[in-house]
Amino acid sequence: MQAALPQSDVWPVGQLCQAIAQVLDARLNPVTVQGEITGFSRAASGHCYFSLKDETGQLRCAMFRRAASGLDFAPRDGEQVLARGRLGVYEARGDLQLVVETMRRAGQGALFEQFLQLKARLQAEGLFDAARKRAPPAQPRGIGVVTSLHAAALHDVLTALRRRAPHVPVIVSPAAVQGAGAPAELIHAMNALARLHRRAAASEKRQWPPVDVILLVRGGGSIEDLWAFNDEALARAIAASPIPVISGVGHESDFTIADFVADLRAPTPTAAAELACPDRTTLLTALQTQAARLARAARHRIDTQGQRLDHLALRLGRPASALAAERLRLERHQQRMLHALRLRLERETARLAHACQRLPAASAPALQSARQRLQSLAQAWPLAAARALQAERERLTRAALRLDLLDPRHTLARGYALLQTSGGLPLTRAAQAQPGQPVRATLADGALALTVQSAEVSPVQRGS
């Protein structure tokens, strides 16, 4: 046995820590410890840091990369393990520390065991089934956030929502996210949002926006810190919520009962906010693209219908143009007829003169008679031509009157309309139209685009 050190000796802190470490190493090491893992983390260097605890104590542990690479499982909070290593003192802080060399499972911790039992029971009841889960709305009118007002997760969520969808109202329903009373507060906060949603849906004034999705969020922590989200009553409240719930509890590696029951699970609170609403920039870009497509389609439609209208106008024809063409044709016939009469008269005169030269003097009386007859014919030809021309003019006038009576514009001016299908075919019977069919009505001063509301066929009227 070593002799007691004299009280007058003064120990420097570092030397005292080294002496304690030497005593521990000489009297206890190596040592095997059983406990529940808590606060497990793996540094970028590959070293692992955690604590082992039980009902009465807690011990800090470090497992360096060489030893950690030999593990055959992934340690996580709540697991019961057997850790074998050497006790020492971390001189920089004066902490008692177990440097773990080997570690194996020794059964799951009490909290983790409760977690697995509740998970199995709720899963058997169907609370985790994908069929009962609802997709959050693509365009929420309002977003509810359930978390602590002092949580960093609230700041992350509000920042993400302001960036992605500043136009969507956000309502925060505060609740504790850690501690014995946290589950009841979380349930109360969710129920408050549900009541607000029902009031907004029933109210015409819409003083509050309807909450279309709830974000249940909290930052990371140990299994004890997140234990409120493993509460059975909270899980059943999430399943019964009339509003879709997105859970964003802890980090990506953390899982709680709330994550399994929620309609959608996000790895982090920020990711939950991003899943709740689409990016405003993306929506505006899509809207601008659709507006440009609609404008192009409208311009193309207008151009096409304009060309079709021009074509129909040409097919309909203009009675005045036809009448002018007939007058021009009549004038040409009149000129040709007068020219033919002059030529005929000149030929007959020449033939008569030639015949007179050939006739002897004795035939003077006959010549005189022929000359008189020719004169009579010469006087009769203009009169006959004038009569024929007058007859043709009268016939043209009658034709013009009949043609003018057939002009559809007169009919349209009396209140009638010309109905045509979108393909340009005339509609003359009610049976040709179908409800909802677009039609075009041509009036005396323009055209109307109409839609058939109903088509009723009247029975045929028969005379007595």
Looking at 127-211, which runs of residues are DSSP E strands? Answer: 143-147, 170-174
Residue 261 lies in a domain: yes
Which of the four pLDDT bands, split at 50, 70 and 90, describes residue 404? confident
Residue 452 lies in a domain: no
Please check whether residue 115 is in contact with residue 257, taking contact to mean a CB–CB distance below 8 angstroms.
yes
Q: How far apart are CA 171 and CA 176, in angstroms?
A: 16
Q: Provide the pairing of β-strand 143-147 with 213-218.
A: parallel
The secondary structure element, H or E, covering residue 81 is strand 79-90
Instruction: Quote the distance between the C-alpha of residue 165 and its chain's center.
Output: 15
Half-sphere exposure of 96 (CA within 13 A, CB side): 10
Q: What is the mean pLDDT of residues 196-207?
A: 75
- pLDDT of 462 above 50: no
Provide the pLDDT for residue 246: 94
* Residue 303, C-beta contacts closer than 8 angstroms, at least 6 positions apart: none
The secondary structure element, H or E, covering residue 98 is strand 95-108
Tell whether 144 and 261 lie within a shared domain.
yes
- pLDDT of 13 above 80: no
Tell whether 188 and 270 lie within a shared domain.
yes
Residue 327 lies in a domain: yes
Provide the pLDDT for residue 330: 84
- pLDDT of 26 above 70: no
Provide the pLDDT for residue 3: 43
Provide the pLDDT for residue 262: 94
Which of the four pLDDT bands, split at 50, 70 and 90, describes residue 425? confident
Which of the four pLDDT bands, split at 50, 70 and 90, describes residue 459? low
- Among residues of the chain, what percentage have pLDDT more than 70? 89
Peptide linkage before 30 cis (omega within 30 of 0) = yes
Residue 43 lies in a domain: yes
Provide the pLDDT for residue 461: 46
Q: How many structural domains are present in the chain?
A: 4
What is the rounded radius of gyration, in angstroms, for the C-alpha atoms of the chain? 53
Provide the pLDDT for residue 464: 36
Tell whether 238 and 191 lie within a shared domain.
yes
Tell whether 182 and 251 lie within a shared domain.
yes
Q: What single DSSP character describes residue 90? A: E
Provide the pLDDT for residue 458: 67
- pLDDT of 295 above 70: yes
Provide the pLDDT for residue 1: 42
Q: How far apart are CA 54 and CA 404, in angstroms?
A: 111
Q: How far apart are CA 370 and CA 48, in angstroms?
A: 146
- pLDDT of 315 above 80: no
Tell whether 184 and 226 lie within a shared domain.
yes
Lowest average pLDDT, out of 27-36, 166-175, 197-206, 256-265, goes to 197-206
Provide the pLDDT for residue 280: 77
Q: How far apart are CA 75 and CA 40, in angstroms?
A: 8
Residue 147 lies in a domain: yes
Tell whether 433 and 323 lie within a shared domain.
no
Number of helices followed by number of strands (H, E) in the chain: 12, 13
End-to-end CA distance of the chain: 142
Residue 295 lies in a domain: no
SS3 451: strand
Partners of residue 108 on adjacent β-strands: 79
Tell whether 194 and 273 lie within a shared domain.
yes
Looking up residue 60, the CATH number of its domain turns out to be 2.40.50.140
Q: How many other β-carbons are positioned within 10 Å of the β-carbon of residue 118?
A: 16
Greater confidence (394 vs 321) lies with 394
Tell whether 248 and 146 lie within a shared domain.
yes
Tell whether 146 and 45 lie within a shared domain.
no
Tell whether 372 and 245 lie within a shared domain.
no
Looking up tokens 């234990």 gives 227
Q: Share the mean pLDDT of the chain.
A: 82
Tell whether 162 and 266 lie within a shared domain.
yes
Structural domain that includes position 436? 413-444
Q: How far apart are CA 188 and CA 195, in angstroms?
A: 11
Q: What is the pLDDT of residues 208-266, one digit of tens each?
A: 778 899 999 998 877 778 889 999 999 999 999 999 999 999 887 778 999 999 999 99
Q: How far apart are CA 241 and CA 194, in angstroms?
A: 7
Lowest average pLDDT, out of 178-187, 226-235, 319-328, goes to 319-328
- Among residues of the chain, what percentage have pLDDT more than 90? 24
Provide the pLDDT for residue 359: 61
DSSP one-letter string for 107-119: EE-HHHHHHHHHH
Provide the pLDDT for residue 232: 93
SS3 448: strand
Provide the pLDDT for residue 367: 67
Q: What is the pLDDT of residues 42-88, one digit of tens each?
A: 999 989 999 999 888 889 999 999 999 888 788 888 888 889 988 88
Q: How far apart are CA 4 and CA 289, in angstroms?
A: 87
Q: What is the pLDDT of residues 144-177, one digit of tens each?
A: 999 999 888 899 999 999 998 888 899 999 999 9
Of 248, 263, 278, which residue is a domain's last?
Answer: 278
Which of the four pLDDT bands, split at 50, 70 and 90, describes residue 286? confident
Please check whether residue 170 is in contact with residue 209, taking contact to mean a CB–CB distance below 8 angstroms.
no
Residue 28 lies in a domain: yes
Tell whether 398 and 425 lie within a shared domain.
no
Residue 302 lies in a domain: no
CA proximity to 170, closest of 199, 134, 140: 140
Looking up tokens 């059964």 gives 107
Most confident of 86-100, 122-136, 283-297, 364-378: 122-136
Provide the pLDDT for residue 361: 55
Of 250, 278, 306, which residue is a domain's last?
Answer: 278
- pLDDT of 194 above 70: yes
Q: What is the pLDDT of residues 341-400, one digit of tens each?
A: 888 888 888 887 777 777 665 466 766 777 777 777 777 777 777 787 888 888 888 877
